Structure 1
């Protein structure tokens, strides 16, 4: 049976120990490592298509960040960014200061019962995890079309990672579908989910190329995110890389 939460863990290489309260199983983490490639300082994270193709190591999530389950990681990044955004509006922190000036205490816990708690989201955790996966795959396609040969190579990587038939079917359906930002935007049912969808999209790609940056800029605008909040999400992602 397709478990979007577990698949999100594998894609992000997350949930390796108990910071999220739900440690990943040995089998889950083995499959995640097979999919992502283990690197010093954390598991490599780049565009989803690049990861499945095995052609791009991308950025790295730090050791602390990968201890959180994938859903908890994204929710925590969005919540942390939102808290810093609110603090900046109230003058309690200096906005736009360098990431390393914020200190070394990197914690990602979205309080239960809030709008950032996936368990409280409309449709539940499985729907949110599916939405985040779809958003990440869409972002990974922002720099160009994935052709039939690349799709065959991706399918081979899925076999190597031991993904089930339902997981492979979901990923391939999403990868084959045309890039549709309207669909991504409608996945956000609340302002908190809008921030989470943007955070997941930013985790999926590193906007070094013009097309990727343009995609993220347009996504933020379509999700109606304040530019200052977008900046805080960027800083939160960078902290996750260094944690």
Structure 2
């Protein structure tokens, strides 16, 4: 199974939907990743506000990523960070947050944090699968993914890959009961845990009690230091502000 490719296809599909609905392009883009495919266009996050407030937002809600994220504005804006920046953006944000936290605790290393944008393809595949698991779980935190929506997501995933093993795997993840401890157990490195938590922050609505409670329990199960949680939240909010 190639989860990295599927995750990038999900994000690319969201990009295409937004791009096809118009909007002005400006110079600038997210840092390039060594391992992940970049979106075809170079539209910056700064152009997203108009797109997401109009037809582009409605278009995003039509794909598999939109079905996972739901229709809340907070999810649209956080999802936009992932849609336009892809895994490279998530890796860059996680790298900065984790690096800042390490510096605060005098624990920096010469190699720096081994986030998804800085590791070999085989490791990137492991990170991608963990991130997708986290995204699916976060999408279920408010209970909006019911049987009908799951079937719709299955259909959209089927348009992106012919890998039946991968399609079945995604369906199984959608069917699983929400269990923060099981999600946390997927993280095999501190950086992977940070990326999974960051992805969750970007797609949940923290004003929703159930979703906020899920995030808190996920952080607890991952044993994320409070300072690291704060740093990840800060970097996520700064990225989302670029959409405004």
Structure 2 match to 1:219: 218
CA displacement at 1:236 relative to structure 2: 1.0
CA displacement at 1:158 relative to structure 2: 3.4
Output the CA distance in 2 between the equivalents of 1:56 and 1:63: 12
Structure 2 match to 1:235: 234
CA shift digits 1:123-151 (9 cap, x unpaired): 61111110110111111111227432222
Hey, which of these two has a bigger chunk of helix by percent? 2
CA displacement at 1:175 relative to structure 2: 0.3
Gapped regions of structure 1 (runs ≥ 5): 30-37, 91-110
Tell whether 2:96 aligns with 1:80: yes
SS at match of 1:20: coil
Output the CA distance in 2 between the equivalents of 1:231 and 1:49: 30
Tell whether 2:32 aligns with 1:20: yes
Structure 1 match to 2:183: 184
Structure 1 match to 2:77: 60
Q: Aligned match of 1:40 in 14, 33, 50?
A: 50
Gapped regions of structure 2 (runs ≥ 5): 17-28, 42-47
- Conserved? CA contact 1:41–1:62, under 8 Å: no
Q: 1:241 to 1:18 in 2, by over 3 A?
A: closer
Q: What RMSD over aligned residues (CA atoms) do the two structures have, in Å?
A: 3.8
CA displacement at 1:204 relative to structure 2: 2.6
Structure 1 match to 2:146: 147
TM-score (norm 1): 0.68
Output the CA distance in 2 between the equivalents of 1:211 and 1:234: 18
Report the number of matched residues.
Answer: 209
CA displacement at 1:218 relative to structure 2: 0.9
Q: 1:150 to 1:15 in 2, by over 3 A?
A: closer
CA displacement at 1:61 relative to structure 2: 5.1
